[in-house]
Every structure is written in C-alpha cells, then in structure tokens.
Structure 1
Amino acid sequence: MKNHYKRISRRLILSILILISCVFLTSLCVAPEKGREPVPEASAGPATPEMPQEPEVPELAEEALPLMATPHFTMEEYRCDCLGYCDGWPCAMEPELLEKIEALRCYFGRPVIITSGVRCEARNEEVGGVSWSFHKRGCAADLYCPGVGVGDLAAGAKDCGLNILPYYSSGYIHVEIIP
C-alpha cells in the first residue's frame, strides 16, 4: 500500500512539474523580444508567406504563478491568517525553517499541510498562543500530513532537525527552530 501512495505521489509531482514547465515555456513564447517592432495586423483572408498569422495567446498575469518558498510550498501557505490586523507578513519566515519543512515533506513523499505559519500579535492572541511564540518571529509552523499519524510525523520532523510539540488530540504538530 505504501508503494502505491509513493507511485501516486510521484505521478502527481511529475504532472505538476510538467504543467509548471508548460506555463513557463508558454510565457517565454508570449513575451515580446526587446527591440522587435510589433507585426502589423494582417487583413482578413488567408495568411501569406510574408505575413503569417499567429494564434492569439492570452498574456499571463504576473500573479498567475504563486511565489514559491520552496519547491513544494508557496509563501502564501506561511502567511498570517488574521482578519486584517496586519498585511500578512508581520515578520519574514526564517529560511532554515522553510528548508527543514521542505525536507519533512520530502521525507514522507506526500503533501504536508501548514495550518499556521507566521502570526501577528493579534492573531497569536486569538488562537491562544503564548506571548513568546516563535510564530511571531517566523521560526515556527503548525502542520499535519494526511495519512501520517501525529507520532510518526513528529518523529520525521525530529529526524529533519526540527524541534517539535505534538498535539495528538488535535491531529497536528508544532515545529520550530531556535533562531
């Protein structure tokens, strides 16, 4: 059964990589070349060898591709989820934490869901976080991995060099690094 999930995960990752590659290559084809004058619109009728008609390709918005923190996680996944107390980034995420959570994702070979990354003071109080919370410094995250028990996830996180606090009854773990 474990090999079945590995095979599915690998195919899913491969599909995502192919999709991202296609989007990237499409954006290269769509981007105008510097110094190149625009081609005048062809009149109605068949294309001639001198002026071939190119299919219209919609321009990709810059916001179409999310900003990636690591190969498997977007920055948005780490953003403060308060109701507008801050701009979402009261502090920066520590690169070491991002790398170790990525390592944890690779360790299990399956998605890891981040439920809480960086927090502003107001959000930290709302969720009952301690006043010295590492979330407020970008050094902690709460996460779970579907199909992986809290104990196994905690052991894997420890193997990846993370400090952990398991919440067995809630089904997630708190991971952190010491800044």
Structure 2
Amino acid sequence: MKNIYKTISRRLILSIMLLVSCVFFIGMSFGPEEAADKAPPPTVSETATQASEPTVSAPETEPPPDGDVTDGPWASAHFLMDEYACDCAGDCDGWPAEMDPELLEKIEALRCAFDRPIIITSGVRCERRNAEVGGIENSWHLSGHAADLYCPGVPCDEVAAVARTLGLGVIEYPYQQFDHVEIWR
C-alpha cells in the first residue's frame, strides 16, 4: 500500500513540475517587450497541415532559447526534424512517413518537464531499417507515430512515468536504457 501512495505522489509531483516548467518557459520565451516584436512560431500541427512534404519548416533558423545553435528545420522549440529522420544507410530519403504532429508536441512537453535534453535515438523508420533493428512488423515507427528516446542523467522509469502523464504510450527498455513512446492511431 505504501508503494501505491509513493507512486501516486511521484506522478502528481512530476505532473505539477511539468505544468510549472512549461508555464515558466513560455513566460521566459515571450516577455512583454519581445511579444510585440516576435510572433510565436507556428505549432507543429499548424505547420504539418500547411506542408505537403514530411518535413516541418521553422519560421526562422533562430536558435532556441537554451543556446543550441544548430541550423535546420525545427520540429519544435528543442528538436530538429532531422532528429526524427530514418537513419538507414540510404534505403529511403529519410522520410518514409510523416511524423505525427501530436507525438512531436508531446515529446517537446516531455523535454520541458525535465528541463534537460532528450535524445531521440529512433524516429520514423523505413521497413528495411525497422527489420535491421529488430522492430516488429507493424511498428508505429513505420508510420511516424513512435520514437525511442532517453534523457541523460534521468532514470528511464522516471522518463516513462512523465511520458505517461502526457498521454503517451510507453514501452520501457530498462536494460538498454531507453523508452519507446508512441501515439496510438
């Protein structure tokens, strides 16, 4: 019984931390003097509905507030689209399917909850790459509805718990030190 209360308390605290972190970062990124000068970037879902190609373009190549200076199209405030691309050896163009905008938004929220980098080890996959890594035949990676990730310095079970509070489906791989997150469609 004690473990149940501990688990509930932990999830409640993580949910509150997520909410406070997101509110804090939103407030930090658009202060009163900046709000008039900068329009907020389009959300992943807005950009995805406008784009006919699987890449989501960023309004500018301006680095995110935490100092990351990598250029490229942004999936969200902290992730480049390239981080989600298929990493096969040239069997596809990197985009055999479009990434699910809802998944991109929830992974960004996960990143905000921990206020530290989240590393995407696998996003969308072509069938050949999926077979190479031992993915199941109808893997959600094939349709852009899944990603494998970890947060350096944070136990995978904590990452999984917060991901679940955000509405992500999670399969934990504690021995490999990563979590598989997905959106069910």
TM range (shorter): 0.5 to 0.7
The alignment yields a C-alpha RMSD, in angstroms, of 2.0
**Residue of structure 2 in register with 1:129 after alignment:** 135
Corresponding residue to 2:92 among 80, 83, 86 = 86
For the residue of structure 2 that corresponds to 1:107, the secondary structure is helix
The residue type paired with residue 138 of structure 1 is: G
Name 2:40's counterpart in structure 1.
none
Are residue 142 (structure 1) and residue 148 (structure 2) matched?
A: yes
Tell me what 1:159 maps to.
165
Equivalent residue number for residue 37 of structure 1: none
The C-alpha deviation readout for 1:127-171, integer Å capped at 9, x for no partner, is: 000001000000000000001001101001111110000000000
1:70 corresponds to 2:76: yes
Q: Distance in 1 between matches of 2:157 and 2:137?
A: 27
Mapping of residues 164-179 of structure 1, within 5 Å: 164-179=170-185
State the partner residue of 1:110: 116
Which amino acid is 2:75 matched to? A
| TM-score, structure 1 as length reference | 0.64
Distance 2:164 2:71 in 1: 32
Tell me, what secondary structure is at the counterpart of 1:175?
Answer: strand
Whichever of the two has the greater Rg, that structure is 1
* Structure 2: distance between partners of 1:125 and 1:163: 22
Aligned match of 2:126:
120
SS at match of 2:172: strand
Deviations 1:108-140 (A, max 9, x none): 111000000000000000000000100000000
The alpha-carbon deviation at position 65 of structure 1 amounts to 2.6
**How many residue pairs were aligned?**
121
Q: Structure 2: state its 5+ residue gaps.
A: 1-24, 30-60, 62-69
- In 1, distance between residues paired with 2:150 and 2:166? 15
- What is the deviation of 1:69? 0.3
2:75 partner SS? strand
Matched-pair identity in %: 57
What secondary structure is seen at the aligned counterpart in 2 of 1:69? coil
What is the match of residue 5 of structure 2?
none
Letter in 1 for 2:168: L
Provide runs of 4+ in structure 1 moved above 6 Å. Answer: none
For residues 163 and 145 of structure 1, the distance between their equivalents in structure 2, rounded to whole angstroms, comes to: 17
Higher relative contact order (CA 8 A, sep 6+): 2
TM-score by length of 2: 0.62
